[in-house]
Chains A and B, each alone.
Chain A
Amino acid sequence: MADPLLIVPFVLYLLALLGFGFVANRYMNSLDDFLLGGRSIGSGVTALTLQATSMSGFMFMGGPALAFKQGVWALWYAAGDFGGGLVNLGVLGRGLRQITEALGSLTPIEWLEDRYPHPSVRIVGATIAIVFLSAYVFAQFIAAGKAIEAISGLPFLYGLLIGAGIIVLYTFVGGYLAVAWTDAFQAIVMAVGINLILVSGVLSVGGITPLFDRIAAKDPTYLSIWGKGLEHAGEFGVIAGAVLIYAIGYMGLPHAVVRHLSMKDAETTKKATVWNVFYNTFFVYQPYLLGLLAIVLLPNLGDPEMAIPTLAFQLLPTVVAAIVLAALMAAVMSTADSLLIMAGSILSRDVIQRFSRRDLADRQMLVWSRALVLAIGVAGIAVAAVQPPGIFELVIFAFGGLGTAFLVPNVAGVYWDRANWPGALAGMVGGAGTNIVWTAWNLQEPTAIHPFFAGLVLSVASLVVVTLLTEPPDKEVIAEIRAARDAIGAPAGTAEKSSPSLAPEATAIAKHLERVSEPTAPPTSRGNHPTAD
């Protein structure tokens, strides 16, 4: 059994997460509250939850491992990631917040059908989202189980039951609000943990310049922008993909995009962009720099993915190392909870209610949503325990598949009025399909083009060409979108009226917005919900 000095802070940390769930539960009255936190999330929490959700356990394991193997080349990913949240908020944030409230869309897939009115958009969108989000959930659960196994010495199955069980429990109890609060808390834990270890590591090698000098002494190509051994020399398509995958890819992830829908008001975007960049200054480059540090301090490291935990044990006192390990868990859990509630939301709202039980009242939908979160969580634990063959292959496609499927239809939906449903469908299938084929057949090697970049180009091309070859969208829909997008804030009472978000009410609100040809009243304040900022 591991050191109690390590275990106690870690257990307290897990209990704190559960506490967030039970506190959030006190504010939950409706479906809107469970799925979107009552659209009450403030700028600070929005910025942190967006970033924590977007960056999974990859930041603590995959990122440092890449830097350990490839040297400073790995920093191309950090370069794009630094602006990922900002781009997401700046491009989609305000527009999506206003339009989705006016249309009454509660999930990113529902928004797509509201913007591109055709059932096939929802069917294809929900299918892609559920398959990839579920695979992603399983992978994060496995990572949580392994992290607890490494820390406590407990068998993997117990680690899985504890780690995943806590995620499922607080998500089930507290809904989206619990997810947003725990994400914000975990984002801070992550930043503190990673900087503690980075500072002590850099000090131990005598500073930044000695660090790079010692890396260069091992192999000068570690410091090349083309990768160790100049492996990616001249591959501009690969570098563009590495930067773009995180700089713009988040705009396609449903569990990241839903952060725009849940903001308190469109005004929240402004402060959230600044908070996001501020946070990234203290977090995004650091894991990769730790990978570089490991080249010097842990030259014989067997598993590069364990660079951060190994450095933590080597450089820090046990109690402080516990914070770093809690941060590692935070990276995994903050993504897993968002994936879980997103998958549950899409299944309940976009599948059950949309195609099977349209007559369900808000209250019944709340029960369905909770039940589905629980069911996916339990299924996820079962799958993670068994680890069936093929599950990891599915995960490899998940991020790129989601990003390239939804990014272009999301952006076109806000900015290009001519975009129509056949185009959106082509963009989704073309983007995700290309990404999958590119990854499965390893086309990056012969073409020197990153799968994400290829998927993005094909998605744009498919959406534009098919849109221009087919009928323009209904003028009424576009007028609704335009009016909502151009308003400074929704008319007083819009938020309350659209909370139940049933289609007729949402349409009435949208029509009202259409009639308003001038800027409207300032955004409404939601008195019946806590402000999570």
Chain B
Amino acid sequence: MSVFGLPLGTFLALFFWIPFWWLIAGLSLYRMNKHDREKRRAGTASRRRRSIARED
């Protein structure tokens, strides 16, 4: 079986990298956003605790 005149195995070995790197880019973006969300959430909780402590 061939794709664009290249054997399937060769085509996959050399060109699957294109969707692979796009997938990695998506995962990186997801991971960075998740990290930022968690940090912000942790920061909000920490400020709330300090605020409650001051009121007490």
Contacts and interface: CB of A to CB of B under 8 A. Distances in A.
Q: Do A and B come from one complex?
A: yes
A224 B40 contact: no
Interface string A241-268: 0000000000000000000000000000
27 contacts: A72-B6, A72-B14, A75-B14, A78-B17, A80-B17, A83-B17, A83-B24, A90-B24, A90-B25, A90-B28, A94-B32, A208-B4, A209-B4, A213-B5, A223-B6, A225-B13, A225-B14, A269-B32, A270-B32, A270-B33, A273-B25, A277-B22, A280-B21, A281-B22, A486-B39, A488-B36, A488-B40
A223 B10 contact: yes
Interface in B24-56: 24-25, 28-29, 32-33, 36, 39-40, 42-43, 46-47
B28 A273 contact: yes
Interface in A206-223: 208-213, 216, 223
B10 to A, nearest CB: 5
B10 A82 contact: no
Contacts, number: 81
Contacts of A79: 14, 17
A3 interface: no
Interface of A: 72, 75-76, 78-80, 82-83, 86-87, 89-90, 94, 208-213, 216, 223-225, 269-270, 273-274, 276-277, 280-281, 285, 486, 488, 517-520
B1 to A, nearest CB: 13
Contacts of B7: 223
Dominant secondary structure at the B interface: helix
Name the residue among A89, A208, A277, A285 with the largest chain B CB count within 10 angstroms.
A277
A213 B4 CA distance: 9
Contacts of A80: 17
5 shortest interchain CB distances as A-B pairs: A212-B5, A519-B43, A79-B17, A83-B21, A209-B5
Contacts of A72: 6, 10, 14
A89 B31 CA distance: 13
A98 to B, nearest CB: 12
Interface of B: 4-7, 9-10, 13-15, 17-18, 20-22, 24-25, 28-29, 32-33, 36, 39-40, 42-43, 46-47
A51 to B, nearest CB: 13
Given A94-B32, A225-B14, 6 more contacts: A213-B5, A223-B7, A223-B10, A285-B15, A486-B39, A488-B43
B25 to A, nearest CB: 4
A255 B6 CA distance: 37
